[in-house]
Copies of this chain bind each other. A is one copy, B any other.
Amino acid sequence: MNIDSVDFFYAAMPHVTLEADGSQDALLVRVTAGGYIGWGECEASPLTSIAAFVAPRSHGVCQPVSASVLGERLDGPEDIARIAALVERNSMDLLQAAHTWSGIEIALWDLLGRMREEPVWRLLGYTENHPKTPYASMLRGTTAQDTLERARAARERGFRAVKLGWGGYGEGSVADDADHVAAAREGLGDDGVLLVDAGQVWGEDVEAAAARLDALEASGAVWLEEPFLPDAFAAYSALASRARTVGIAGGEGAHTPQMAENLIDFGGISFVQVDTARIGGIGPALRVARHAQARGVTFVNHTFTSHLALSASLQPFAGLADHRICEFPVEPKQLALDISVQHLALDANGEIRAPDAPGLGIDVDLDAIRPYLREVEIRIDGAPVYASPTATANVRKSA
């Protein structure tokens, strides 16, 4: 069969704030081939990712993503890899292409899984679907007491792991950060998994990051995430060599598998966090998972949006029993919940699993997201280059 269509659905909350909350909008991708439908999701900046799909070509290796996708043969996973190589080559100089392609790639896996009636993790070669321990991401509180209460509340909701970050972490004094980390540990209890996310706040300043290590290690934090800019390998490596018990985590910014692998090989991280919706999709994420496994590094998903994106991000390490921690969007905006019919819920052990249903096992609820849909129209020299599938028409057609 061949890829017949690729449609983008840009959905957003009525008011998108400056919070570091990635669930405020979404770019869903629907692909059809041979009468089958697959869905995926691209991370961030829907308009820009749509533009990368339809932009007029600049030259032979700066073609829009559409040029490598539409009409292509799709009979099995090897075709997904083949198309990925086409995109890599033909859109070599189009930076945004990786994010656009990621959502399409995910939709192709979903489509193949639905066609073959197999969950994607089986198509990837895994024979088992191991449970993951989701962590609750929470902003640092205004006061340490506030942070303590947030951690306790997460624990009471069934989360055995909590991640503290943003909301000022790393921007104030070392002592203040230490208070918040200790408070999070107290709220979480001694047996909880405590994670801390610096959100790139120290740029390339190794000393600023190193000054927080003692407090992190005293509180038994498992990782310190993104202390630096994504490509600051020298800083990552210097910090990793100074940490004793806390691991350094990073990788969510990787838009090629090599970038994530380099952060392992040259940055000395212990946890590689891969956003399937940025790195080029499920195939490249699987490659990183294998590389991590071979290097004794733990693979973790990075997911901040819908349960469609969550399912996609679990597939690459579903079969790895020892890679247990997973990111779980704890308090997403209503949009992110409304996107899907099914949701991955915590079981009695506080764990989740990738669905066992065909494809990604998540159906998109087009009726529910209709109120959030934004209509994009792009014209060049007056001629239409792109127009969103009309919300109503498409909802009816694909329902």
Could you tell me which A residues sit within 8 Å of B by CB distance? 12, 16-22, 24-25, 43-48, 50-52, 54-64, 85, 88-89, 92-96, 98-99, 199-200, 203-204, 229-234, 253, 255-256, 258-259, 261-262, 265-266, 278, 374-382, 385
Contacts and interface: CB of A to CB of B under 8 A. Distances in A.
B258 A17 contact: no
B95 A24 contact: no
B62 A44 contact: yes
Contact of A231 (B54, B258, B376, B385): B258
A375 B378 CA distance: 11
B48 A94 contact: yes
Contacts of A48: 48, 51-52, 55, 94-96
Nearest to A63: B18
A317 to B, nearest CB: 21
Contacts of A230: 256
29 contacts: A16-B57, A17-B60, A18-B57, A18-B59, A22-B59, A43-B93, A44-B58, A44-B94, A45-B52, A45-B55, A45-B58, A45-B62, A45-B94, A46-B55, A47-B56, A48-B55, A48-B96, A52-B96, A92-B200, A93-B253, A204-B258, A232-B258, A233-B258, A233-B262, A233-B265, A234-B262, A374-B380, A375-B382, A376-B379
> Would you list the 4 A-B pairs with minimal beta carbon distance, nearest first?
A231-B258, A51-B51, A96-B96, A47-B55
Given A55-B47, A59-B20, A229 B256 contact: yes
Stoichiometry, as copies per complex, reads 2
A14 B233 CA distance: 43
Contacts of A44: 58-59, 62, 93-94
A381 B11 CA distance: 12
A8 B381 CA distance: 15
Given A22-B58, A52-B45, A378-B377, A95 B98 contact: yes
Nearest to A61: B20
Q: Which of A16, A19, A47, A256 has the most CB of B within 10 A?
A: A47
A58 B44 CA distance: 6
B58 A16 contact: yes
A267 to B, nearest CB: 9
Contacts of A52: 45, 48, 96
A213 B262 CA distance: 25
Contacts of A17: 59-60
